[in-house]
Amino acid sequence: MNKFAVDITAPPPPAPPRELAFPHYDAFVLGNGVQAFVYGNHAFPLVSVTAVIRSGSGCNDGIPGLASMTSEMLPKGTPTRTAEAIAFQMEFAGASIVTGSNWDALTVRCSVLSRELRTAMEVLSDVVCNATFPAPELEILRRQRLAGIMQRNASPGALSMMALARGVFGDHPFGYAQDGVLESVERMSRDDLEEFASRHIAPGNVFLVAGGDVSRSAFQELGEEFFGDWSRESRVSAVPELPLPPESTRVIIAPKQDAVQSAIAVGHRGIARSDPDFLPAMVMNTVLGGYFGSRLNLNLREERGYTYGVNSQFDVRRLPGLFFVGAEVRNEVTRDAVEQILVEMRGMREEPVPGDELEGVKHYLAGMFPLQLETPAQVAASIIHRELYGFDLDYYRNYIKNLFAVSAEDVLQSARRFLHPDRAVIAVSGDADYLQKELASFGTVTVREFNE
């Protein structure tokens, strides 16, 4: 036998994992209390600067969509600049300005050539500190938002996720889509946006993160120049306490008449980002449905041919968000698809993951981790994530080591703590008449329109 022969039918073993040092960055506080973080990387003459407001859609104060609309309106006018002037000045400097929102934060980010950083910082500070929410611009965005919601409401996948969120969280802010509902967007006023901004966009609730071709001293000087004199007392409203989870399985059907497919979302309350068992939970979820080789995908797609793809996910926030499994399947296999999802969830709780399966997932996650830190903007995003959720640098420094320390028993205990197939909400959008009969064996069935 040739001693150099290689079995080309078997994949090569993964290389040994390598520790990854998180890049060094500087932190300081401006004179008015605004925190700032700078990651200098001078490979390219580009800088990304993000202003982060530590309040998001969890603070919608009874008006679904309020936080995200406030974020979108920030660059639409200040006392000295119209929306057109802001856009023109940024474009002339070769810069862009983008706003965003999630459950825990609003962001305003600009990307610019380093030689034009001063111009970008001037506009960024004006947008963050002095937004006026002009009524004509609000009406334009309102019409766009309403059109987007109507388009969303035509999507079975979106309807099933709305039904799941409402089933798990009820009338809590987490029970609504972040962009709101038709009624809340129609009645949202300029005063509502100003009130949200006055409560949440203040020095004590904002931090700045810069990544790229900039030094600490230069960014600190610009920060003091454009943000240092800003003063406003924050009156932050906390995210309301979460409702108690359901005690038994419930079925919610969001009708989609004459649908030939069913959009399935099975889930319940998940995990808070700061939970000490977060890493074992992420490993557990990856085994279950977090990548192409997951148990759910091998079962529903590869073995049974029910769907093009199925995935599971923890939507992590400061407070526990959703855990969900999502898939779209043919009508006639809806019931069996739901049953197989529950079977796989129960299987995670019943016995440890075999060693080769667990090692494969850990190598997959270890390989994905460095891809999140390839650019200065990605490093800045990781700094934002760390600052928002309060974990220390050891999380990044020791990520690979801690990942490979996760045992099969850790994964089993995580599944028993965070997977609840016997009190999940089963939300399905599709042919309601057909689905009511098919899904009645799982629990109490509610049919509810979500065209809102």
Q: How many CB atoms lie within 10 A of CB 131?
A: 22
What average pLDDT does the chain have? 94
pLDDT tens, residue by residue, 403-439: 999 999 999 999 999 999 999 999 999 999 999 999 9
Residue 8 pLDDT greater than 70, yes or no: no
Backbone angles phi, psi at 101, to 5 degrees: -155, 150
pLDDT tens, residue by residue, 69-99: 999 999 999 999 999 999 999 999 999 999 9
pLDDT tens, residue by residue, 338-378: 999 999 999 999 999 999 999 999 999 999 988 888 899 99
pLDDT tens, residue by residue, 241-262: 999 998 899 999 999 987 889 9
Residue 12 pLDDT greater than 80, yes or no: no
**Residue in this structure with the two tokens 């390598």, named with its chain if needed:** 18
Q: At what angle do helices 190-200 and 135-152 cross, to 10 degrees?
A: 100
Tokens of 121: 């910082």
**CA atoms of 183 and 179, how far apart (whole Å):** 12
Backbone angles phi, psi at 113, to 5 degrees: -65, 140
Query: CB–CB of 188/142 below 8 Å?
Result: yes
Residue 25 pLDDT greater than 60, yes or no: yes
pLDDT value at position 393?
76
**CA atoms of 426 and 403, how far apart (whole Å):** 31
* Integer angstrom CA distances of residue 23 from 38, 367, 397: 11, 18, 9
**CA atoms of 152 and 156, how far apart (whole Å):** 9
pLDDT tens, residue by residue, 107-150: 999 999 999 999 999 999 999 999 999 999 999 999 999 999 99
Residue 6 pLDDT greater than 70, yes or no: no
pLDDT value at position 4?
57
Average pLDDT over residues 10-38: 84
pLDDT value at position 364?
95
Which DSSP string corresponds to 296-363? HIIIIIIIT---S-EEEEE--BSS--EEEEEEEEEGGGHHHHHHHHHHHHHHHHHSPPPHHHHHHHHH
Query: What is the set of domains in the chain, with CATH numbers?
Result: 26-227 (3.30.830.10), 250-447 (3.30.830.10)
Instruction: Give the least confident one: 167-181, 188-202, 391-405.
Output: 391-405
Q: Is 147 helix (H, G, I), strand (E, B) or coil?
A: helix
Q: Is 112 helix (H, G, I), strand (E, B) or coil?
A: strand
Query: CB–CB of 299/339 below 8 Å?
Result: no
**CA atoms of 378 and 382, how far apart (whole Å):** 6
Residues in a beta bridge with 209: 37, 50
Assign 11 a pLDDT band (cuts: 50, 70, 90): low
Average pLDDT over residues 387-412: 92
Does this model's pTM top 0.85? My answer is: yes
Assign 61 a pLDDT band (cuts: 50, 70, 90): confident
* Integer angstrom CA distances of residue 136 from 54, 75, 82: 28, 13, 11
* Integer angstrom CA distances of residue 452 from 103, 149, 207, 264, 448: 20, 8, 35, 19, 11
Q: Is 51 helix (H, G, I), strand (E, B) or coil?
A: strand
